[in-house]
Structure 1
Amino acid sequence: MNTPAIELRSVTRRYDDGPPALHETTLSIAPGEAVAILGPSGSGKSTLLNLIAGLDRPSGGTVTVDGVRVDKLNEAGSARYRRDKIGMVFQFFNLLDDLTVIDNVVLPAQLSGTARGAARRRAGQLLDSLGVARHAAAYPGRLSGGERQRVAVARALMNRPALLLADEPTGALDTASGAEVKRLLNDLHADGQTIVLVTHDLALAQACATRTIRLVDGRVVADDTRAVAAGRAR
């Protein structure tokens, strides 16, 4: 049996004396799965994402990602973990406006110590495969929302992460651009990328994930898997 890509055991996160943001959550995600985390505002989706990303620590329980005990990492260890293991895609892109597209994409590789030439070759290949190579020398502000999100995905994939985390990746996009990003996530899943998608949008979850986990008040209330379509098999 494959080692889980993500494993949470009895994870609780409290921020004050009120109800926990996440309560006694246990779940396992296999390598290559595309999983959507659904729930209303305040359900614990962002807390769960932050715990997996090593941006927060549980009050109790364990978080393991790709063999790393994320809950035991110190600040420096968490930064290395995100650099080496995690690619993150955000609702508002988080690109650096004063860097060109290719320099935005190269940045994670530079931080990991990859040689400049190798990093730029990798970035060029990613931009080409995502259909935005023609914008390599442009600045993000000149691109459409869909194009900027493709650049953000290229940056997230730069260091070949074990896990891609997507936080409302179509939330700031128009319908056409959102459809482009949905197709892109499907293609990445078909290529074997492990994806955790956090959203309140059921249609996005149905389009991009083969498993949905629903949170309400910090608890998992549903965990459903549907058959993988032939065109999306690994």
Structure 2
Amino acid sequence: MIDLRGATKTYDDGPPALAGVTLSVAAGECVAVLGHSGSGKSTLLNLVAGLDRPSSGTVTVNGTRVDQLGEAGSAKYRRASVGMIFQFFNLLDDLTVLDNVMVPAQLAGMGKGEVKRRATELLASLGIDRHAKAYPQRLSGGQRQRVAVARALMNRPALLLADEPTGALDSRSAEDVRELLLDLNAEGQTILLVTHDTHLAANTARRTIELVDGAVARDVVDTLSGATSTSSAGASR
């Protein structure tokens, strides 16, 4: 699903934000990327999302060479293949919950009736259909994040990217979102989770990648019998 080969990203004359990262994520995996501020987590996410290009190396997602896409191609790729969940929800306060969820499908040109049916089904499956006509600012943080998840899933993306999805939530809401991510992954959704929260990573993903100074310092897969680990800047699976 995700394949990075020697991906490096530098800005101006500073040290690389991402330094020759090579890693693969299989379809159906839930992988957590850990690291301190400045470790390269956000840069990695931006490269996979097509929001930025590597200075060198390649980024392939679901068969698409994302690093070779232009601006229009990147936007089309995100609409068709990627769902994104953000720390601060990024919902539109002047739109209702239902309208927020429908936006990605409307941008993709889906028919009006199909858009509404799909959005209504997602809200029901996430337990927030009773808030369909409400505005985001009237909801709790956990409810708003569920709306954001519904929006991210609207176009049936092959890949779900979660950037600190519980960072702005209280512990109870964070646990709800964690369980939601587990359920989605159990249904086959591929998830790349970027977080500094070791508890969230350990209890959501079976595989954890740690970035240090833009390089992969640790790649651990939990199995029924324990964990297997590879410590290398070129770790891959």
TM above 0.5, yes or no, is yes
In 1: Cα distance, 2:58 partner to 2:179 partner:
33
Aligned match for 1:150, one of 146, 150, 161: 146
Contact 1:186–1:208 (CA<8 Å) still a contact in 2?
yes
In 1: Cα distance, 2:224 partner to 2:123 partner:
27
- Counterparts of residues 114-193 of structure 1 (less than 5 Å): 114-193=110-189
Question: What count of residue pairs does the alignment treat as equivalent?
Answer: 225
The alpha-carbon deviation at position 228 of structure 1 amounts to 6.4
- Stretches of structure 2 that go unaligned for 5 or more consecutive residues are 226-237
The letter of the residue matching 1:89 is I
Q: Percent identical across equivalent pairs?
A: 69
Please give the per-residue CA displacement for 1:82-137, whole angstroms capped at 9, x wherever unaligned: 00000000000000000000000000000000001101000000000000000000
- Stretches of structure 1 that go unaligned for 5 or more consecutive residues are 230-234
Q: Is 1:208–2:204 an aligned residue pair?
A: yes
Residue aligned with 1:226, SS = strand
In 1: Cα distance, 2:86 partner to 2:78 partner:
14
Please give the per-residue CA displacement for 1:50-74, whole angstroms capped at 9, x wherever unaligned: 0000000000000000010000000
In 2: Cα distance, 1:198 partner to 1:152 partner:
16
Q: Which residue of 2 aligns with 1:223?
A: 219
The alpha-carbon deviation at position 227 of structure 1 amounts to 2.1
- Counterparts of residues 102-113 of structure 1 (less than 5 Å): 102-113=98-109
Aligned match for 1:56, one of 52, 77, 99: 52
Please give the per-residue CA displacement for 1:123-174, whole angstroms capped at 9, x wherever unaligned: 0000000000000000001100000000000000000000000000000000
Quote the RMSD (CA, aligned, Å).
0.9
The letter of the residue matching 1:134 is R
Q: Report runs of 4+ in structure 1 exceeding 2 Å deviation.
A: none
The letter of the residue matching 1:178 is A
Q: Which residue of 1 aligns with 2:30?
A: 34
The letter of the residue matching 1:156 is A
TM-score (norm 2): 0.94
Please give the per-residue CA displacement for 1:15-63, whole angstroms capped at 9, x wherever unaligned: 0212100011000000000000000000000000000000000000000
